[in-house]
Structure 1
Amino acid sequence: MGNTKSDKITCIKTDSLGYVYIAGYFSNNITLGTNNLPLNYTANASSKEAFVARLDSAGFCYWARSGGEYFDDRVLGMDVDAQGNTVITGTFWQTGTGFNMGTVNVTGGAFGGGDQCFVVKHDASGNPLWGNFVCSNSGDDQGLDICTDKAGNHYVCGFMSGTTLYCGGNTVTATNTNTGSHKHALWLAKMNSAGTFQWARTFGNLPWDPDANKYIERDIAVCVDDSGGVYVTGGFDGTHNFGTQSFTTYGGHDIFVIKYDTLGQFKWATQGGSDKDDWSNGICSDKRGNIYITGEHRDSLIMDTVLVKNYNKRDAFVFKIDKNTGKPIWGKRAGSNLGGERGNDIVADTLCDIYLTGDINDGGKFGDNITVPSGAMEQAFVAKISPEGKWRWVARWRIR
């Protein structure tokens, strides 16, 4: 799978039948099984194009689809519904030609010269169903994650640069109330199963890296529970509004979780942080409606009254959060002898056990009951945690 240039899988999902769905972007041509995906715009051979594909559990690729326009296009978020329909979101450079994926053309907004967000849906056979876009009135705008509820509605989140967010045109808009030089806001929008936007909300900000003199374009993540609650997590810096609440960071970048209902009404928001940089990378809900987040912290991390200490430098964390109040139920940590750990994503199974993926350096500890012996640098791990917060097992393998 792949070619001689840079290719990246950014998303992976499974359905109830055991099929596997992957999405990401590639340069030049890419081959997935017997499916060859050429660049749509060969005049710019250095550009990246988006792709999505369906495989069985043995790795056989049933179908693969690519899309793009003249410049870089990337899939950054994906979800799969109960019928096997896939919905993807990401970014494309709006030049007037639009983002093309099969028979779907996403023209984007009238504000050219920057990244815009696309959302494209395919059926279980890989046929494109519809596409839509989100943009603001200036600068770069990206879709970073997307999820689907039981009714087939889609919730997409990302960041915006301008003062007004336009979802599929002028029908649904939202306002960025941030001021100052570093004012990129985060947003959440709801679409129905046919791709029509229902509402949009803005909150928080995209953190700034003063050393690199640029915004930190890190993922934010979204999930829904079975009762219609919508949750977004990520990071922020400074003082910003989350619904009717205002948070100020403890020192560096802090983590947040915000909840809306299916009508877009704000329910609650919560904050966690330390005097250093912390980030939440993944979120999920279990069948009982509990919310879990994972990410990284560089010092002892406090969320409400729950304190998670760190072992060394950067560690991974997991918090379990009450869906009704936003208060943490427990928090757990994982760290190594050298530091450099983080939780990348998290998911719950039908028994409400939790599975966490991430990175670890050397050996270390997962909670107080599992010790991982010293090993190679730069390892990936998968860990299982009970609903009560007990680490069950850890598997790891070397990345490089």
Structure 2
Amino acid sequence: MKAAFLLSLFTLLAMVSVAQAPNWDWVRNAGFSSSTLGLQAIASDAAGNVVIGGSYQTLTIDSFQLPALPPAAGHDDMFLASFDANGKLKWAIREGSSIWNWIAALTITPSGDICATIFFTGTTTISGHTFVAADWSDILTVVYDSNGVFKWATQAGGHHIFPTLQVAHDDSGNIYVPGAIENFIIQHGDTVSWHDAEVLSIKYGSHGDLKWVRSTGSAADEIEPTGIAADRFSNTYQTGFYRGKTFFDNFLLPGDGTYARAFFMKRNADGSLAWAKTMKGLSTGHEAAAGRHDGIYFLGSVKDSAVINGDTLVSSDVEGYHFLMKMDTAGGQLWIRTFECPNYCFMDSDDSGYVYVSGYNGPNIARFDPDGTLSWMKSVGTDGHRRSLMMLVNADGPDPVVASRYAKISLACDVFTIPPSGSNNIFLGKLHRSPFPAVADSIVNEEPFIYPNPSDGEFTVVADPLAFNAYLVIDL
């Protein structure tokens, strides 16, 4: 009989191979009430300014209180709040009027413009401009200047259209908006175009001009894109999951429709599809990261998908295990790490290629070197709130910034103690970026890896017995 023990990277690797974690440069908190999502997105710029966004009914930051909704409204509006490089509040604004509207993702372009993607139903108001959903739900792409002043907005709508948790920009300030769709309409000025597919990619110029719209994957039983990133050459990379054998343009990805598979795809600067690949077994892609460094990062979750010797599964029922994978721009796999992270994880990379991974329902943030070595791990607060924390991370600025939502408790962060300021709270902090050297792990043999199958674009996750890096696999 063969058994396998799976031990998490976050649990074990921290004890044997991590360097000293950096200290917090500053930490902040805000109190809020919300009936839906609360904190939802974070972004930072090269000067160290930070923007957070989400939904709320009341929001208090220091002595500043964003106006509350009328008691009879019964729903949340949206907020954006900007902080300078020292954590001081610069401004906060309130948007929205729809029954359902929330900020899905944020990014800050090289010029300092703040881009938000917004999901809404019915009718919503953005800085005095009214938008009406074409059908059940629409996506708004809204851009503000660095002072929070509205600049422009565009709308994509149709029957069941959803934004993802990421929006991307390139060095020229172009903006890339992904979405999950059934059928949809792109409306830009007097130009209206209709599309019928499920993986959506839209490119806007820095002034809101529509560059191109692409869609793919309509043959799937089910498909859901989740993340997008853009590199310095204006190529974009998307991930998500699908069910059933699926064509991504001319690329056929296998599947039997019974379980989800992660997909990874690249579009060239003109929107043409360069490649599409998948992972064998039950898996989903969550987020993508790229930048001025070489290599593309994908984050996702796995279940029944770590494979030994062909088709032998490491485990028949594993929840909460995630993968972090680095690929080259041609779609070749460079390395992969797997680790335990309850529920959803988040990720971002900096311009040097370091990757920061944070968790949902777990107050840890970890940094991986460009070669996949775990540099350090950092906790926010104590074990007492592990089940009430969502942690977002962004590394576009000079130092990585972290935001999370948590319950009414005090947090201890290095020399800082943060008292609660409401029934729900938002934590915001900046870590000091230091070039800590990675400590070699002498236990590591060969890491798990993914290899491409040229016939169908499929990857297989293979773990070597007794290899300790992400899973420790012991055959008995």
What TM-score, normalized by structure 1, do the two folds share?
0.71
Amino acid of the structure 1 residue aligned with 2:75: G
Matches within 5 A, 1:32-51: none
Structure 1 counterpart of 2:202, from 245, 254, 258: 258
Q: Post-superposition shift, 1:174?
A: 4.8
2:156 is equivalent to residue 203 of structure 1: yes
2:167 partner SS: strand
Structure 1 counterpart of 2:265, from 294, 319, 322: 319
Matches within 5 A, 1:102-121: 102-107=62-67, 112-121=73-82
* Structure number, greater radius of gyration: 2
Matches within 5 A, 1:294-373: 294-310=239-255, 313-324=259-270, 326-336=271-281, 339=282, 341-364=283-306
Amino acid of the structure 1 residue aligned with 2:325: A
Give the aligned partner of residue 293 of structure 1.
Answer: 238
How far apart in 1 are the matches of 2:104 and 2:177? 11
Is contact 1:114-1:141 (8 Å) kept? no
| RMSD between aligned residues | 2.8
Give the aligned partner of residue 228 of structure 2.
Answer: 283
Q: Post-superposition shift, 1:260?
A: 0.9
Distance 1:384 1:322, change over 3 A: same
Aligned pair count?
314
Is contact 2:230-2:237 (8 Å) kept? yes
2:331 partner SS: coil
2:27 partner SS: strand
Give the aligned partner of residue 9 of structure 1.
Answer: none
2:96 partner SS: strand
Give the aligned partner of residue 20 of structure 1.
Answer: none
Distance 1:177 1:184, change over 3 A: closer
2:137 is equivalent to residue 178 of structure 1: no
How far apart in 1 are the matches of 2:183 and 2:244? 18
Q: Percent identity?
A: 22
Q: Deviations over 1:274-324 (max 9, x none)?
A: 331111111111112111111111123333333333376201111111122
2:35 is equivalent to residue 89 of structure 1: no
Matches within 5 A, 1:10-49: none
Q: Post-superposition shift, 1:147?
A: 0.1
How far apart in 2 are the matches of 1:396 and 1:285? 24
Structure 2 counterpart of 1:58, from 22, 29, 38: 22
Amino acid of the structure 2 residue aligned with 1:255: V
Q: Post-superposition shift, 1:72?
A: 5.7
How far apart in 2 are the matches of 1:242 and 1:335? 38
Distance 1:218 1:377, change over 3 A: farther
Structure 2 counterpart of 1:391, from 320, 333, 338: 333
Extract structure 1 runs of 4+ deviating beyond 6 A.
108-111, 370-373
Give the aligned partner of residue 127 of structure 1.
Answer: 88
Q: Post-superposition shift, 1:207?
A: 3.0
How far apart in 2 are the matches of 1:189 and 1:109? 22
* Larger RCO, structures 1/2 (Cα 8 Å, 6+ apart): 2
Matches within 5 A, 1:172-251: 173-179=129-135, 183-205=136-158, 207=160, 219-241=164-186, 243=188, 244-249=192-197
Q: Post-superposition shift, 1:103?
A: 4.1
Q: Deviations over 1:104-133 (max 9, x none)?
A: 433378893322111111112211111112
How far apart in 1 are the matches of 2:115 and 2:22? 31
How far apart in 1 are the matches of 2:181 and 2:324? 27
Q: Which ranges in structure 1 are unaligned for 5 or more consecutive residues? A: 1-55, 209-216
Amino acid of the structure 2 residue aligned with 1:105: Q
How far apart in 2 are the matches of 1:372 and 1:85? 49
